[in-house]
Amino acid sequence: MTNKLSLFAVVIAFLALGFAGTHQGGNAPQPKKETVFERVMRTNTLRCGYVIVDPGLMKDPKTGAFSGPVYDIMSDIGRMLNLKIEWTEETNFATAVTGLQMGRYDEICTTLFWRPNLMRLVELVQPYYYIPIQVVQRVGEKRFKKKEDMDVPEIKIASVDGAIPMLIADDDFKKAKLESLPETSPYNEILFSLVYKKADVTFVDPLFFHHFDDANPGKVEINKDIPPLRVFGVTFAVLKGEHDLANMLSNAIVSLRDNGRIEQILGKYDPKANVLLRDAPAYVLHH
C-alpha cells in the first residue's frame, strides 16, 4: 500500500509540474504579430522602397528631389490617407521583392507591370494607368514587318534578366537568340545594346522609349508595322498577405482616378495622351 501511495504521489507531482510549466508559458499563446497595415496606421507612415526608372520615377542627383508620376501619385495618396510617405530605400528590380519580404519597407513604389511572375510573390494594387509594350529597333531597320520576322535564329533580342523583353521572348520568340544583361544593369542598357549593335530588337513601353530618344535622338525607333506585343497595368506592390494595406491603396487610386486627379498627373508627362493608356472612371456622366 505504501509503495502504491508513493507512486501515486510521484504521478500527481509530475502532472502538477507539467501543468505549471504549461501555465507559465510552455504552450502559452504568443502575442499576435503586428501586420504592416497595423504599423502603418499606428505610425501614420508608409515606407517606400523605390527603383529609379526614368521617367516613371526620377531623382535629381544634385538636390535629391523626386519627380515623375509615381512620386506625384504617392504624394496624393499620402495626403488623402493622412500618411507620411517616406522614401526609405533605393533598390532595383532584382532585389525589390526581397527587401519587401525582409521588412525594409512597406511598399514597392515604382512602375511595376501587372505580370504573372509577380503575382505569386506580392499583392499588386489597382493599376493607375496601362501601357503598351512595343517593338523597338535601330533607326532604319527594314527587316521586321510582322512578328514572325523576329522569330528566327539570326535575330538577337536585348533584355535584362527577368525583365519584360525576356518574358515576351520566352513566350513568343523561341527561335531568336536572347542577349540578356544582369538584373542589376541600368534598364536603358537594353536600348544601348541596339545602338552598339549587340542586339537587333527589344520590347519596351513608349514612355521609356521617348525618354531615351530625347537624350539619344535618332538612334532607335518604334516599329510602326507591328502592333503592341502586350498591354500591362502599371501598379505598386505590398507584402504577400497584406490585403488590408493593398485594399486601402487600391481604393485611394480608384478615388484619385474617379475625381480626375490621376489624369492631371499623367497629363504632365503625356500631354497628348498618346503614350499612357488611361484607366476609365467607373461612371458615365449624362448631359
Q: Would you tell me how many other CB atoms lie within 10 Å of the CB of residue 161? A: 14
Pairing of strands 84-90, 220-222: unpaired
Decide yes or no: CATH 3.40.190.10 for domain 36-129+233-269.
yes
Pairing of strands 220-222, 129-138: antiparallel
* pLDDT surpasses 60 at 6: no
- Min mean pLDDT across 20-24, 70-74, 183-187, 208-212 is at 20-24
Q: What residue segments make up the domains of the chain, in order of their start? A: 36-129+233-269, 131-230
Output the nine-digit C-alpha cell for 222.
518604334
Q: Per-residue pLDDT tens for 10-64?
A: 444 444 444 444 444 456 667 788 999 999 999 999 999 999 887 789 999 999 9
What top-level class would CATH report for the domain 131-230? alpha beta
How far apart, in whole angstroms, are the C-alpha atoms of residue 103 and residue 125? 18
- What is the value of pTM for the model shown? 0.78
Q: Per-residue pLDDT tens for 177-198?
A: 999 999 888 889 999 999 999 9
How far apart, in whole angstroms, are the C-alpha atoms of residue 121 and residue 7? 57
Asked whether the beta carbons of 136 and 212 are under 8 A apart, the reply is no
